[in-house]
C-alpha cells in the first residue's frame, strides 16, 4: 500500500507540474500531460529501469481508464440533440470522410511503402483513422467551444469518426459471437432506460449529500464497460452513447455536470493523458525515426486533404475550416486501443506497436497545438468562456 501511495503522489506531482507549464505556455493541459508523461517515462526508465513509474499496474490502468470513460461520457453529454438534428448532414459527412481518408491511405502506405503484412497494414489504417474524443473535448472545454454550435458539431463529427474506427476494428479482427449480440441487446435496453431512471433517481433522491446521481451514472458506465470488455469491445464505446442519452438532462442540471467535470478533469484524466505519454518508446523511435515520420505525415496529410475540402463546404471562414480540420486530425484513445489490440493479438510486433502509438500520440499533440495557437476562431468564442490557459484572463473570481 505504501508503494501505491508513493506512485500516486509522483503521478499527481506530474499533473501539478503539467498544469503550471500549461498555464505559462498557454497551451492545452491535455497536451502538456502527454508530453510530461513521455519525458518522465524516458528519464525514469534510464535511471531506474522499465516501468519504474508503474504505468502498467492494474490500479493505475483502472484510474486512467475511468478518466477516459468519464471524459467520453461528458463529451457525449455536451451534444445538444436540437443542434445535432440541424447539423446531422455536416456531422455525418465530416465524420465519415475523417475516418475513410486516413484508414485507406495509411493502410495502403503501410502495405506498399513500409512492406508491413496485410493484417498489420489494415491495423495501422484502423489505428491512424481515429480522432481523439478525449483531447478534442478537453480543448473544447478549455476554450468554451463545448457550449457553442460550432464545438458541438466538431464533437459530433468526432463521434462518427471513432464509430467508424470501432466498426472497422470489429469487422476486420474481432469475431462476432453470441457475446456481441448480448452486448448489443444489453446496450439497447440499458441505455434506453438510462434517461428515465436517471430522472427518477434525481427526482426522488437527488440534491442530497449522498450524491446518488454520480454513483448511478458511474454504476451504468462501469457496468456497460464490463459488458463491452466481456464481448471483446472497449469500455469507452458505450460511454459516449450514454452521455448522448443524458444530453437533455445535462442541460437541465448544469451544476451537477460541472461538479462531475471537476472530478474528472481535476483527478482522473491526468492519469489517462500522462499514461498515454508513457507508452511511447523513445529508443524505438530513435532507432528508426523515418518510419515514425512517414506514418505521422501519412496520417496528417490524408486527414487534411480528405477533410479540408469537406469542411469548407460547411464553413466559409478560413480559421474555422483549419481549426475544424486540425482538431479532427488528432488521435489518442481508440488509436492506442487499436494498436494495443494488434500487439496483444500478435498482429503487430513491438516495433510496429511503438511506431503506431508514437504516431497516434504525436497526432494528439501537434495538430492540436497548431490549431489552438494559430487558427482558433475567436469570433465564435462564447461571451463568457471558462477560464483556461489558452484565453485571456476573465474578470472576477476564478471558478473551480
User: Which has the closest alpha carbon to 140: 325, 388, 362?
Assistant: 388
pLDDT of 389 reads 45
**What three-state secondary structure class fits 44?**
helix
In this structure, the chain runs to a length of 400
Q: Greatest CA span in the chain, whole angstroms?
A: 61
For the cut 50, the answer to whether the pLDDT of residue 391 exceeds it is no
Q: Kindly report, residue by residue over 106-115, the tens digit of the pLDDT.
A: 999 999 989 9
pLDDT of 46 reads 87
pTM of the model: 0.77
Cα–Cα distances in angstroms (integers) from residue 313 to residues 89, 90, 93, 318, in the given order: 11, 9, 10, 12
User: Which has the closest alpha carbon to 277: 383, 362, 368, 189?
Assistant: 362
DSSP 260: H
- Domain spans of the chain, in order of start: 82-249+283-380
Cα(198)–Cα(213) distance, integer angstroms: 7
User: Which has the closest alpha carbon to 126: 106, 111, 142, 149?
Assistant: 106
The CATH topology of domain 82-249+283-380 is Na+/H+ antiporter like fold (1.20.1530)
Contacts of 268 (CB under 8 A, 6+ apart): 63, 64, 66, 67, 70, 71
**Percent of the chain surpassing pLDDT 90:** 37
Amino acid at each position: 500500500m505504501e508503494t501505491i501511495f508513493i506512485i500516486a503522489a509522483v503521478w499527481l506531482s506530474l499533473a501539478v507540474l503539467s498544469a503550471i507549464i500549461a498555464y505559462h505556455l498557454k497551451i492545452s493541459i491535455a497536451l502538456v500531460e502527454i508530453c510530461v508523461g513521455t519525458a518522465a517515462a524516458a528519464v525514469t526508465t534510464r535511471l531506474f529501469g522499465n516501468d519504474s513509474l508503474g504505468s502498467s499496474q492494474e490500479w493505475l490502468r483502472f484510474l486512467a481508464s475511468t478518466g477516459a470513460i468519464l471524459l467520453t461520457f461528458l463529451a457525449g453529454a455536451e451534444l445538444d440533440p436540437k443542434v445535432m438534428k440541424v447539423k446531422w448532414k455536416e456531422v455525418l459527412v465530416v465524420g465519415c470522410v475523417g475516418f475513410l481518408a486516413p484508414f485507406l491511405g495509411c493502410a495502403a502506405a503501410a502495405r506498399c511503402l513500409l512492406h508491413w503484412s496485410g493484417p498489420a497494414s489494415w491495423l495501422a489504417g484502423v489505428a491512424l483513422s481515429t480522432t481523439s474524443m478525449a483531447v478534442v473535448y478537453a480543448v473544447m472545454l478549455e476554450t468554451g467551444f463545448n457550449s457553442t454550435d460550432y464545438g458541438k458539431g466538431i464533437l459530433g463529427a468526432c463521434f462518427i469518426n471513432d464509430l467508424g474506427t470501432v466498426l472497422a476494428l470489429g469487422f476486420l479482427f474481432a469475431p462476432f459471437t453470441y457475446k456481441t449480440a448480448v452486448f448489443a441487446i444489453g446496450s439497447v435496453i440499458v441505455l434506453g432506460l438510462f434517461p428515465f431512471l436517471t430522472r427518477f433517481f434525481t427526482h426522488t433522491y437527488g440534491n442530497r449529500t449522498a450524491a446518488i446521481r454520480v454513483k448511478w451514472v458511474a454504476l451504468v458506465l462501469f457496468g456497460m464497460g464490463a459488458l463491452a470488455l466481456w464481448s471483446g469491445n472497449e469500455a469507452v464505446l458505450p460511454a459516449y452513447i450514454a452521455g448522448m442519452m443524458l444530453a437533455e438532462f445535462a442541460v437541465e442540471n448544469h451544476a451537477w455536470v460541472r461538479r462531475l467535470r471537476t472530478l474528472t478533469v481535476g483527478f482522473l484524466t491526468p492519469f489517462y493523458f500522462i499514461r498515454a505519454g508513457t507508452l511511447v518508446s523513445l529508443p524505438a523511435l530513435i532507432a528508426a525515426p523515418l518510419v515514425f515520420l512517414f506514418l505521422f505525415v501519412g496520417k496528417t496529410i490524408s486527414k487534411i486533404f480528405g477533410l479540408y475540402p469537406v469542411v469548407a463546404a460547411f464553413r466559409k471562414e478560413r480559421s474555422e475550416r483549419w481549426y475544424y480540420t486540425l482538431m479532427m486530425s488528432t488521435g489518442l484513445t481508440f488509436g492506442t486501443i487499436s494498436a494495443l489490440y494488434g500487439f496483444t493479438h500478435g498482429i503487430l510486433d513491438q516495433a510496429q506497436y511503438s511506431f503506431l502509438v508514437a504516431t497516434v500520440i504525436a497526432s494528439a499533440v501537434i495538430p492540436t497545438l497548431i490549431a489552438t495557437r494559430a487558427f482558433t476562431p475567436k469570433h465564435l468564442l462564447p461571451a463568457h468562456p471558462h477560464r483556461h490557459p489558452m484565453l485571456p484572463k476573465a474578470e472576477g473570481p476564478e471558478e473551480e
